[in-house]
Amino acid sequence: MAYSEELAVRIREILARRKGIAEKKMFGGLTFMLRGHMCCGVVKDELVLRLGPEQGEKALKKPYTRECDFTGRPLKGMVMVSPGGYQTDHDLWQWVQQASDFVSSLLAKNKS
């Protein structure tokens, strides 16, 4: 199983009204891009979030979270959440909202 399609569907429903969303296969899973920036995604059954350095550190103090580490070095500002952390729709919405708020604060990437 490359990634949880069930989780991907739940994220799509949350992001459905946002403009500038694109999906991209990445990290052996599925990534949701917002205005050209990685926002959140799914790897196996884990939720991957781009929260920025400050919010990422705060998130790591919550249950079911860990550093995002694909290469042997943690990615600063990126957090992975195991299924217990996004079990309810409200929990998932809060995580995805936090990631999309952070990414929305970044300048849109130019398409070249």
**CATH code of the domain in which 47 resides:** 3.90.1150.30
The residue range of the domain holding 47 is: 5-104
Inter-residue contact 64 to 23 (CB < 8 Å)? no
Q: Please check whether residue 64 lies inside any domain of the structure.
A: yes
Inter-residue contact 37 to 63 (CB < 8 Å)? no
- For the chain (112 residues), the mean pLDDT of every run of 10, in chain order, is 91 94 91 95 96 96 93 89 98 98 86 56
Q: Say how far apart CA 4 and CA 32 lie, in whole Å.
A: 14
Q: Say how far apart CA 105 and CA 60 lie, in whole Å.
A: 21
Domain count, the chain: 1
What tokens were used for 80? Answer: 């992975």
Q: Please check whether residue 90 lies inside any domain of the structure.
A: yes
First to last CA, the chain: 33
Q: Please check whether residue 35 lies inside any domain of the structure.
A: yes
Q: Please check whether residue 109 lies inside any domain of the structure.
A: no
Task: Classify residue 107 by its DSSP letter.
Answer: P
